Each structure stands twice: as structure tokens, then as C-alpha cells.
Structure 1
């Protein structure tokens, strides 16, 4: 039985019309997911809340990561290191997420400094500001002056 080319084309066209592909959700970029995860909950708009809920429903690992991230962010923003950091580190070490386990291991290496940083109001912000200012002056004067002039400029700027 010979079939014409026209018949085959009609048959293929009919198959294409009956089996239209289902629209897949758009593939998100890692930066988009990270932004949704790390945005403060009260700053998320409704679309981001919906997206985060869908992502958490799809992946248990992402749900666990989101929970641990939000707990750590709360520790950071409210300086509750002494109260909650130990439990957070234990939970992170017990999780199935290698990145968070690595973070927990790194925190344990210099535990006293981390605990102090997450529980006191003191910070090195002013010192970092002065270092940044001195580096900017040095860049501006690169190749133009000797260290003695740089020293005078740094000392006179304070």
C-alpha cells in the first residue's frame, strides 16, 4: 500500500495539534532564587511569597535550607548569638546540605569570635571606614607623590 507524501503530512500535522506540549514553568536563574530566599520576609511582595512557597513545596532540601537561612538571619539581625547559635550550628551540621554544614564547621573553628560578633553591639565599622578612606587616598596619589606626602594627607584629613 503506497501512501502519498500529502497524507503523511496531514497525519503528522494532526498529531502535532493533538499533542500540544504542556507549558512548563519558566526556569529560574540561581540569582533569582537567592534573591527570593534572602529578602526579608516583610519586604517580599505577593509574587515572591507565592514563588517561595512553590519552590519550598517542590524541594525538601530547599525547604530545609530556607528554614535554616531564616533562622540564621534572625540571629544576625537581632544579635541573639548566645541564645540560639549553638542550636543553629547543630541543626546545620545535621542537615543534608553540604554548604550549610561547611558554614557550621567554619563557625566552630573560631567559636569565641563568632559568638562575640553575633551577640554584642560592638563592631569594626568605623575602623573599616578609615581603612577604606586611606586606601582611596593611596589610589588617588599612586605615582604622583612619595609616602611622606601621603602620610601628611592622611593625617590632615582626620
Structure 2
């Protein structure tokens, strides 16, 4: 259901559209859908000016999960604003860190740092 609520409505099939309309008939699900779609569009379009009003909408919604999520975003407000306004991301670095951790897990307790270094540097 969560995936259905955040997907682009133009990519939904006829059955999915019908299910979404049924779900949106419920007031709580309708509010969740509206907040989720607003969040997705704000992230994709990087519209930093919508952030404050979206956070306020989450707090007023009465939906505990959105209120908690918004409170977490407020705690690191400067970083969230930067993520929405800056054109670059740390995705490449995070991918390399994930790769290194995977290699370390594969070698757990089997070899020294020198072998780990060679596997990381010479991996094709």
C-alpha cells in the first residue's frame, strides 16, 4: 500500500488506479496520500520553499508517523534544506562505503588488513 501511495499516478495500471481511489475514499488514507505525494514531489523537484509548509502540515495532520518523521527532519533542519537546495549528493561515497563494508563482512576473521586493502584497491 505504501508503494501505491507514493508512485506517480500516471504510471499506475487500471487495477491500481481503482484500488487507489478506493483507499483514498478513507479520510485518513486520503491525508496520508496527500502528504506522501507532496513529500515525493518536493524531493524530486527540489523545492526547498515547500519544506516549512509541508512540515507544518505533518504536525497538523494528526497522523503520528508523519508528525514523528517531521520532528526528525526539524532536528536536522539545516541538512534537510541543503539536501533540497544543493545539486550534488553523497550517493557515490555511500556506495563505496557500502561496498567496503560488504567486503569486510565477507572476510570477517579470515585475513589481515593488507589483504583487505588489496581486495579494495584491485577489485575490478
- 3-state SS of paired residue (2:85): coil
Matched, 1:35 2:16: no
Per the alignment, residue 95 of structure 2 pairs with 129
TM-score by length of 2: 0.89
Whichever of the two has the greater Rg, that structure is 1
> What residue is the counterpart of 1:51 in the other structure?
19
Unaligned runs of 5+ in 1: 1-32
1:109 corresponds to? 75
TM-score, with length taken from structure 1: 0.71
Match of 1:73 among 30, 40, 43: 40
Moved over 4 A (4+): none
**Aligned equivalents of 2:27, 2:39: Cα separation in 1:** 18
Q: Is the 8 A contact 1:75 1:84 kept in 2?
A: yes
Unaligned 5+ residue runs, structure 2? none
Count of equivalent residues: 124
What CA distance in whole angstroms lies between the structure 2 residues aligned with 1:96 and 1:117? 26
Equivalent residue of 1:126, what SS? helix
Higher relative contact order (CA 8 A, sep 6+): 2
Equivalent in 90, 98, 103 of residue 56 of structure 2: 90
Equivalent residue in structure 2 for 1:147, among 92, 110, 113: 113
* Offset of residue 156 of structure 1: 3.7
CA RMSD of aligned residues (A): 1.7
Q: Does 1:120 align with 2:81?
A: no
